[in-house]
Structure 1
Amino acid sequence: MKKYLPIILTVSLMLGACSSQTATKEKEKEETSSEQKSSVEKEKQKAPEKEQQPEEPEQPYKPLEPTEGAVSLKETLTKESQTQPVQEGQKEQPERKVPFGETLSTEMEDLSDGPLKDHRLVTYYGTPASKHMGILGQLEPEEYIKKLKEQAQVYSDLDPERPAVPTIELITTMAQSAPGPDGDYVQMTSEENIETYVKLAEKHDALVLLDIQLGTDTVMNQVKMVEKWLKHPNVHLAIDTEFHVAQGEKPGEDLGEVDGRDIQEAVEYISDLAEKNNLPDKLVLVHQFTGPVLFNKDAIEPTENVEVAINFDGWGAAADKQALYRRYIRDEPAQYGAFKIFYEKDVPVLTPEEVLKMDPSPAVINYQ
């Protein structure tokens, strides 16, 4: 029996070693499994965080789809007729800086999902407090929105690739010749009126531009005055530069001016407002009818949440208006251009076809 003892001991040691290795492997498996479970648990913990990320807000408007059989103006015009006619003093037809039909200015980009990226806005301007400040004050709300849609439909039919969105441009703070109780030469439209037109837009899948005229007040103070409405998904901002006067001056008597840096402060403020409140991207429309009313213009820049359009809104001879549009919009490009038409003051009133032929094609057309 003794001669087998070494063999038995050897086998026993080998079995012990195998058992130890097996135990070690089992332990390693358990640790690996434990680590994997821990990793899975961590991923599960992360998952709810991802679910909590806000979804992209839905667009609060519906563009007017082209009527059946509508043919794009681009297809009906020859290359030569896709630009404006030669004006007095010009030797030849100017070359386009922006291809016909496009609204984004030269070397500009739009990083937002704002309404101008794929659509055109057609607005009716005014206030229910006055019949002399635009068509909005001349019609009852439902009749007004009906006519606005009819006008916008014309643009959808002429440019089916960029259907138009009916937009209410409501004067929210109207410049006055008297200082008023606050001494700022501005009278604010009643909250009831603002609510009426915001709800009218919601009912008809339209947008709203709240127009501020400033008086002796600041841009930012007036932006904050209308902030609660800017938190509505369908409400945007317009700034009338000509009515911003210095202390001792009167709107309408003295030509006002706005610093582009002040407008940029408002753009960034609204951009933050949209981001923090998970709102659809916004538009800031800046009115300009002559050079002096808007200085430091190059300080105005869009953001990822806010589009910017400069609106030429002078009235008078059509040829002069077209020339000034080229000067202030084409030759001093912001992100988008816009153009204002006065039904009762322009001579003649430009047709939608003539408006769309401008360089760049206006992204916003407003009627007063």
Structure 2
Amino acid sequence: MKKLVLLFAAGVLLLGACADPSITEESQKESTSSDQSESNTKKVENEEKQEPEQPFKPLEPSEDAVSLKESLSEKEQQEIPEMQAALGGNPERTVPAGETLAEGVKDPSDGPLKDHRLVAYYGTPDSENMGILGEMEPEEYMKKLKEQTQAYSDADPDRPAVPTIELITTMAQSEPGPDGDYVRMTSEENIETYVELAEKHDALVLLDIQLGMDTVMEQVKMVEKWLKHPHVHLAIDTEFHVAEEEKPGEDLGQVDGKEIQKAVEYVSGLTEKNDLPDKIVLVHQFTGDVLTNKDVIQPTDNVEVAINFDGWGASADKQALYGKYIRDEPKQYGAFKIFYDKDVPVLEPEDVLKMDPSPAIVNYQ
């Protein structure tokens, strides 16, 4: 959370001290001692005003890692923006290679994305078909996640990457269930397992909500107690939010940007009220239809917003759609999802990072 840090300059003003016989050596010592005491007091006050240490540790780049700006030729820096413009838009690069903030956008927070990139593995322990998380035991999963994260730290050493768990917390269902909302929450035991796993490994967590017929705010409140952890953040899957007489997975859902903004502001207030480090709200989008009124979504002073291009298929098409929905409709940060089993080809980290702007979050399923 952003705080005002006041910097004090302590000094001793001794005008004519040597020439004035009324100023004794003892009085000078008392004055110096008093000033030193005041200086120490102000130093303690300053230390108390410092921002809390971030609850994560990025993976440090290898010693031989080379800056992305140095490793990419001018041709390589330009060819991806041209591909991103395949569906229209500007074929020229809008921000320098590796830059994650969209052109003309600022980040007033001290959140994780300001100086780092997040690499996330998506899924739930309740299903092997929804991502890597459900395919492995927790420690094995974390080992593989760190290997993938390290590749991004090495590819862009100027922005060290942070391993991140994207845990599906509320999963959309094809049947209405006892509450009639077509969604089922994973067990608190599962959530605790992965929140604790991340804390143990100095990693971050994104709690992903899939909505069904429920509202964004109802589900945010369902996971609120975990959002109060310093290393836990929020992700919203828009495509699974359906209307009456529709079913998730059969009918394409959508979320109004106004509801997203309510969540952003709620998380912002939660962060401020509980004196937490600044947070992230990640919003999944793979078509224009799943996210309406997108223009109203805005970050706050203590919440970073990232729009995640979430679709699978031909990688060239995905890069073009990232250009359309992320670069050409900037909110703050961009994110990009990769499907190990469905993308053709599966992009290497160096290829992902060439995009304009470079994704601040890369998640894998």
TM-score by length of 1: 0.84
Letter in 2 for 1:320: D
Per the TM alignment, residue 352 of structure 1 is displaced from its structure 2 partner at its CA by 0.8
In the TM superposition, what are the counterparts of 1:286-297 in structure 2 within 5 Å? 286-297=283-294
Q: Distance in 2 between matches of 1:142 and 1:54?
A: 37
Determine if contact 2:308/2:335 at 8 Å carries over to the other structure.
yes
The SS at the match of 1:84 is helix
Pairs aligned (count): 322
Aligned to 2:120: 123
Determine if contact 1:216/1:244 at 8 Å carries over to the other structure.
yes
Whether 2:350 is the aligned partner of 1:367: answer no
Letter in 1 for 2:298: E
Aligned to 2:52: 57
Letter in 2 for 1:70: A
The equivalent position to 1:74 in structure 2, one of 69, 76, 80, is 69
Tell me: CA distance 1:79–1:92, structure 2 relative to 1, closer, same or farther (3 Å). Answer: farther
Whether 2:219 is the aligned partner of 1:231: answer no
Whether 2:194 is the aligned partner of 1:173: answer no
Letter in 2 for 1:353: E
Aligned to 2:313: 316
Per the TM alignment, residue 81 of structure 1 is displaced from its structure 2 partner at its CA by 1.1
Tell me: CA distance 1:51–1:361, structure 2 relative to 1, closer, same or farther (3 Å). Answer: closer
Q: Distance in 2 between matches of 1:214 and 1:145?
A: 27
Determine if contact 2:164/2:205 at 8 Å carries over to the other structure.
yes
Q: Distance in 1 between matches of 2:79 and 2:343?
A: 17
Letter in 1 for 2:171: M
Per the TM alignment, residue 78 of structure 1 is displaced from its structure 2 partner at its CA by 1.2
Alpha-carbon displacement from aligned partner over 1:205-250 (angstroms, at most 9, x marks no partner): 0000000000000000000000000000000000000000011110
The SS at the match of 1:320 is helix
The SS at the match of 1:283 is strand
Q: Distance in 2 between matches of 1:264 and 1:161?
A: 31
Whether 2:196 is the aligned partner of 1:189: answer no
Question: Larger RCO: Structure 1 or Structure 2 (Cα < 8 Å, ≥ 6 residues apart)?
Answer: 2
In the TM superposition, what are the counterparts of 1:187-226 in structure 2 within 5 Å? 187-226=184-223
Aligned to 2:132: 135
Determine if contact 2:86/2:320 at 8 Å carries over to the other structure.
no
Determine if contact 1:57/1:278 at 8 Å carries over to the other structure.
no
Letter in 1 for 2:341: E
Q: Distance in 2 between matches of 1:84 and 1:227?
A: 43
Per the TM alignment, residue 320 of structure 1 is displaced from its structure 2 partner at its CA by 0.6
Q: Distance in 1 between matches of 2:143 and 2:269?
A: 34
Tell me: CA distance 1:92–1:312, structure 2 relative to 1, closer, same or farther (3 Å). Answer: closer
The equivalent position to 1:267 in structure 2, one of 264, 274, 284, is 264
Tell me: CA distance 1:150–1:186, structure 2 relative to 1, closer, same or farther (3 Å). Answer: same
The SS at the match of 1:333 is coil
Letter in 2 for 1:283: I
Letter in 1 for 2:227: L
Determine if contact 2:56/2:231 at 8 Å carries over to the other structure.
yes
Larger deviation, residues 83-92 vs 321-330: 83-92
Q: Distance in 1 between matches of 2:310 and 2:79?
A: 18
The SS at the match of 2:170 is strand
Tell me: CA distance 1:66–1:226, structure 2 relative to 1, closer, same or farther (3 Å). Answer: same
Determine if contact 1:229/1:235 at 8 Å carries over to the other structure.
yes
In the TM superposition, what are the counterparts of 1:343-362 in structure 2 within 5 Å? 343-362=340-359
Q: Distance in 2 between matches of 1:272 and 1:239?
A: 18
Aligned to 1:149: 146
Per the TM alignment, residue 75 of structure 1 is displaced from its structure 2 partner at its CA by 0.9
Whether 2:229 is the aligned partner of 1:254: answer no
Q: Which structure 1 residue ranges, 5 or more long, are not aligned?
A: 1-42
Root-mean-square deviation (CA), in Å?
Answer: 2.1
Q: Which structure 2 residue ranges, 5 or more long, are not aligned?
A: 1-37
Per the TM alignment, residue 56 of structure 1 is displaced from its structure 2 partner at its CA by 2.5
Per the TM alignment, residue 195 of structure 1 is displaced from its structure 2 partner at its CA by 0.2
The SS at the match of 1:83 is helix
